[in-house]
Amino acid sequence: MTLVLERVHESIASPAGIFVVADGMGGHANGQGASRATIALIAERVTRELLLAPLQTEKSGEEAPKTDDETYKEILRGAVEDANTTLCQINQKDKSDMGSTLTGFMIVGDHAYIFNVGDSRTYMLRDEKLYQLTNDHSLVGQLVAGGLIEPDDVYTHPQRNQIFRSIGDKQNVQVDLFTQQIHPGDILLSCSDGLWEMIRDPQIAEILNHAPDPQSACAQLIETANTNGGEDNVSAVVVFVR
């Protein structure tokens, strides 16, 4: 999902963009429903907090509160928690097991506010080098962090699909959330595990380094993932920082 908002107050524009990848789980129908619901709920909450809440405040004659790093992070945390609560309620009511991993970022000014639940990833390409910004909440991710397996083993480990966090699994979801300063020339990529499991990081970096625009980068990444095996759903969002 890509959502770009711009609020203009006293001739000063305050643009913000939110970019999200949600990878559904629980079978085709449940997984598709979970990812769509997750994205819709997050978009609704972020729009309400960034646009509607300040308008209501100004309408009542009050001055809108100043926003800072912590405000933006709390907006995102609240949005993810809302989505999680709703999916948990649906699962309890329907006795279903729909769920979703989630990653993405909100860009405001020269900062990206990055969030992650599960094993979908957000990367940054800077000066032609690729950096994985998020941590995988998975068994293999934990094994790599503990030095028990090598990083390349995550692609072939028999339990590589076992994840520890997801949207819709437990009422109290833990969200990784942090701030990354961005510069012109940076490229941000959020993707499902269906992409990064099929394309190793050096090839991701090569594609991003040579793509003329974000749409071309997405198309080439998805095509390459499918050519390399395409064993899972492939989702990606790419943003070029100008």
pLDDT at 11 over 50: no
Beta bridge mates, 103? 21, 116
pTM of the full structure: 0.91
Enumerate domains of the chain plus CATH numbers. Answer: 2-240 (3.60.40.10)
Beta bridge mates, 120? none
Quick one: pLDDT at residue 5? 75
**Range list of H helices, 60-171:** 69-94, 139-145
- Ranges of beta strands (E only) in 10-144 are 12-25, 99-108, 111-117, 121-126, 129-132
pLDDT at 12 over 80: no
pLDDT tens digits for range 121-159: 999 999 999 999 999 999 999 999 999 999 999 999 999
Residue type, 199: I
Neighbour count for residue 117 (Cβ, 10 Å): 29
- Ranges of beta strands (E only) in 133-233 are 176-181, 187-191
User: Is residue 113 within 8 Å of residue 73, measured between CB atoms?
Assistant: yes
Q: Which residues contact 92 (CB under 8 A, 6 or more apart)?
A: none
